[in-house]
Chains A and B, each alone.
Chain A
Amino acid sequence: MTSVIDRSTGGPPGLVGGTCSGCGFVFFPYQRYGCERCGRYGADLVVRVLAGRGTVLAATVVHLHADARRSVPFTVAELRLDDGPVVRAVAADASAVGADAGAVAAGTRVEAVLVPIAEGEDELLGLRFRPERTERTERTERTERTGRTGGAA
């Protein structure tokens, strides 16, 4: 199965979606079966890597889940990607991305992040969305890292 995650973006991982060259409909995930809006198919549907950024529409904490690969509780968010499509994804928990991650709720700006998964596991199990990092949080993090390095020396 081809990957739906594009790691070559520099920033947050991109999502491999598509655009219909006939009507301009932007969709996720990429497929060539046919455009949901106008029905064009095959080569008329071109790959478009969607930015891994968006705004949360709703989020909910799941307390009960049958699939043992996901341990409860975890948070599922519905979000509108900046490039248009609405997707559902799992929110990052603080232990995986740092305590500054905070909680996601309606209106939260979020970005994609990959968390470590076991060898051979489905890549999508490692995809999360966390609150978008502002320049301020990036700077704070750099300072903290410098401080820690200094302390160790």
Chain B
Amino acid sequence: MAGQLGDLRPVYVVAVGWHRYQPLSETSYVELGLTAVRAALADAGIEWAGVDESFIGTGLLGMAVGRPMLKHLGALGRPLVHVENASASGSAAFRLGCVNVAAGLSDVALVLGVDKPRKVYRAPTGARGLADDAVVPFTHFSLLTEEYVGRYGVSVEDVALVAVKNHGNGADNPHAHRQQARTLEEVLGGKKVAGSLTSLQCCPVGEGAAAVIVASEEGIGRLGIDPGNAVRVASSAAVTETATSSDQQVTSDVIAQALAQAQTPASAVDVFELHDAFAIEEAQYVEAAGICPPGKYFPLLMQGAFDIGGQCAVSPSGGLIAMGHPIGPTGVGQIGELALQLRGAAGARQHPGARVGLAHLVGLGAVGYAHVLVRP
């Protein structure tokens, strides 16, 4: 029988750091990454020499970008590995870091997501669909929007309210790509992309970096890290799509696994960071997580249930729509946001009394990740 994270020794997120997500600039990825790592080291109050190994989530930078960056912290000869899993690259790197610490191979691990946008190369499989050239991610999610809207009788304006909420949260996040609150009119009036999707309902893919440090109790004690800043990683789950499943099924499966491992009902989730690359995804995934019944997301959204201070704060960071989706950093940044929320250190974005956090990403392929974090 395969095991799970909770079978191993406890692992904690002890520090977070970012370089702001932003449009493509002249800043090198080295500068982006080092900024996030140094912020995380300062947050933990430890030196680079305290970190046993590094996991680098990156989707777009190419081969072997880690050492030319991390050597500037002091080349200590410690192991590092690059992790690519499309949109979920950072989530995958986080899982691996947690597993190595929980297994006892390391006491302290750095998980860093860093990326700069560039054209994606995917080797051809030799098997072609009927219109591969015509179907890009926003086409896929526009089709899903049409399906959802048709099934539940939701209006175009209702769907746009997801973006209004998340832009509002992003406005209070200094690490967000988009830091401007938007009205419904602004969201609806943006450039039309596909179907009813407008550009402000689609995530920006820019550059940036996010870092978290994970540690065992031994590491926390040995390095004198403040245990009051430590947030327990209660579970880690990963799945892939089956021959006939969908993004929503992947989400439902992986979140069910993560909640079961953490022995946490969906109703206990206080803060939920999810893969809202396109507005409709938030409705589908909140329902898939079991946080509300199918078809009930929009009535609850309009009552404020998913606002900061509501029943469950969904994407208090601004989500992918406002905080942004620089690929490698995205999954790591979600964990960072949850850690701040559970510490009670999220400032203007703080969800009162946050104790249980859930992070979720899907990546092209499709792969699905979910992690549950709990304030001890």
Chain A residues at the B interface, C-beta cutoff of 8 Å: 1, 4, 15, 25, 28-29, 31, 33, 36-37, 57-67, 69-70, 74, 76, 78, 87-90, 106, 124-125, 127
Contact yes or no, A76 B131, CB < 8 A = yes
* Given A37-B243, A61-B195, A124-B128, 12 more pairs with CB closer than 8 A: A4-B130, A28-B130, A31-B127, A58-B144, A63-B192, A63-B193, A76-B135, A76-B143, A88-B129, A88-B130, A88-B134, A124-B133
CA distance A58 to B194 in the complex (A): 13
Contact yes or no, A64 B134, CB < 8 A = no
Contact yes or no, A62 B130, CB < 8 A = no
Question: A-B pairs with the 7 shortest C-beta distances?
Answer: A36-B243, A60-B195, A60-B142, A89-B130, A58-B146, A63-B192, A31-B127
Contact yes or no, B128 A4, CB < 8 A = yes
Contact yes or no, A74 B150, CB < 8 A = no
Cβ contacts A to B, 28 pairs, < 8 Å: A1-B128, A28-B130, A29-B128, A31-B127, A33-B126, A58-B150, A59-B146, A60-B195, A61-B194, A63-B192, A63-B194, A64-B191, A69-B133, A70-B134, A78-B143, A87-B129, A88-B129, A88-B135, A88-B139, A88-B143, A89-B130, A89-B131, A90-B130, A106-B147, A124-B128, A124-B133, A125-B133, A127-B131
The total of Cβ contacts below 8 Å across the A-B interface reads 87
| Residue B145 interfacial (CB < 8 Å) | yes
CA distance A36 to B147 in the complex (A): 25
Contact yes or no, B194 A62, CB < 8 A = yes
CA distance A59 to B144 in the complex (A): 9
CA distance A44 to B146 in the complex (A): 37
Assuming A88-B135, A88-B143, is B127 touching A60 (CB within 8 A)? no
Return the chain B residue nearest A78 by Cβ: B143
| B-side contacts of A66, CB under 8 Å | 136
| A-side contacts of B130, CB under 8 Å | 4, 15, 28, 87-90, 124, 127
| B-side contacts of A15, CB under 8 Å | 130
| B-side contacts of A89, CB under 8 Å | 130-131
Contact yes or no, A60 B143, CB < 8 A = yes
| A-side contacts of B129, CB under 8 Å | 29, 87-88
